[in-house]
Amino acid sequence: MEKERADMKWQQNRFKDGEYASVKERFPLETMHKARNFHMQIPGFKMSPLKNLNNLARMFGVGGIWIKDEAQRLELNSFKVLGGSFALYKYIQQKLGREGEPLTYEYLVSDEVKKKLGVLTFASATDGNHGRGIAWAAGKLGHKCNIYVHSETSRARIQAIRDYGATVTIINGNYDDAVRQVAVDAEKNGWIIISDTSWDGYTTVPLWIMQGYATMMLETQEQFSAQGIVKPTHVFVQAGVGALAASVIGFYYSLFGKDAPVCTVVEPEKAACLYESAQASDGAPHSVTGALDTIMAGLACGEPSPIAWGILKKTADAFISCPDYIAAKGMRIYATPLKGDPFIVSGESGAVTLGALIGILTEKGLEELKRFLKLDEKSQILLINTEGNTDPVQFRQIIWEGSNPVPKEYWTDENKGQ
């Protein structure tokens, strides 16, 4: 049943059926370890930190709030490079006729491979971070890259992609229009599409990308183990087309089945395609239209990835739709930590889960959602800071100038909701 209030809406997942075999097939442990083994060979690669906001957790009456901080992933300030680079690896492996055979990073950049493949051209549509990751990975491996963005993409995001040698094409419309146009132009020009969203006849590469994200989750589990925690009790994960959310939640269901954490998907209200899909009665993916006007640029996607939705409808517990000020609030909380908690630089898409969590823990009108999710003093909650300061102008407007303020009736008070 759907529950609404002025600032956040939520929907219980009515399609969850307890059948996880298909999820395990998509996220076999062997493949996830292969992805991580590849990533660990990339020069400069290291594990991103898992940070504990222990004092914030104590303030709001939960056991722990843990942040996997992808703002410190390579030089790209985002997790996206994990999926894109692994997809390029898998494509080249397939092109060389060496599927199932591990290839070293050194071999991929060798003269032998260049002679066999020549210079390939990879292409994708993006709101910023995915395209930047593809451009970086293609350049490292000696190939070309064409990235399509929509006309509202910020100049900083576009320049960040160009800085890695990609050709950027700006089209009219929104992210979904860019996806459609790059598919047409790639077919015409013989480019290889590396997209994190799927469509009819195009599912293999999006699955590779989701499997590549699992490197982050293998790291996370190792880091939890070092703290004496078997797994988090709760996971909040943000979603655009749903690839990251499906990867994170699919990972936990592949490992733990029915004993997986309680998993919640969080989206911007102007691009809440998964929330709308969960609301519908037919179990099919549903799109939202319009400008998709949200500060959460990385989540501004109106059409869900069918392959991602197929995983999420079997595994997620709830879907939440949030206004922009929830993300801005999360950014400010990360940037002004309680004494003893770590400082975290988080972009708009990275911070929405923290803003949503604090609202659930404190605000009247969300008590039923808090009870449904079983959030209490024993909860160990995992959030993923998916990006750092990837749009410096907007970041300063939010942190310095206070744009997207929280309405006064929703100001945080740790005594509320307790």
For the residues of 190-259, what is the DSSP string, one character each?
TPEE--SS-BTTB-HHHHHHHHHHHHHHHHHHHHHHHTT-SS-SEEEEE-SSSHHHHHHHHHHHHHHGGG
What is the Cβ-side half-sphere exposure of residue 392, based on CA atoms within 13 angstroms? 5
Catalytic residue among 51, 69, 90, 127: 127
Q: Is 80 a known active-site residue?
A: yes
Report the alpha-carbon distance of residue 285 to residue 174 in Å, rounded.
19
Q: Is 416 a known active-site residue?
A: no
Residue 397 CB contacts under 8 Å (≥ 6 apart), including other chains? 403
For the residues of 253-295, what is the DSSP string, one character each?
HHHHGGGSPEEEEEEEGGG-HHHHHHHSSS-S-----S----S
Catalytic residue among 9, 51, 68, 80: 80
338 C-beta neighbours (distance < 10 Å), count:
13
Report the alpha-carbon distance of residue 19 to residue 1 in Å, rounded.
21
DSSP state of 27: S
Residues 74, 47 contacting (CB under 8 angstroms): no
For the residues of 324-341, what is the DSSP string, one character each?
HHHHHHHHHHHHSPPTTS
Which residues are known to be catalytic? 80, 127
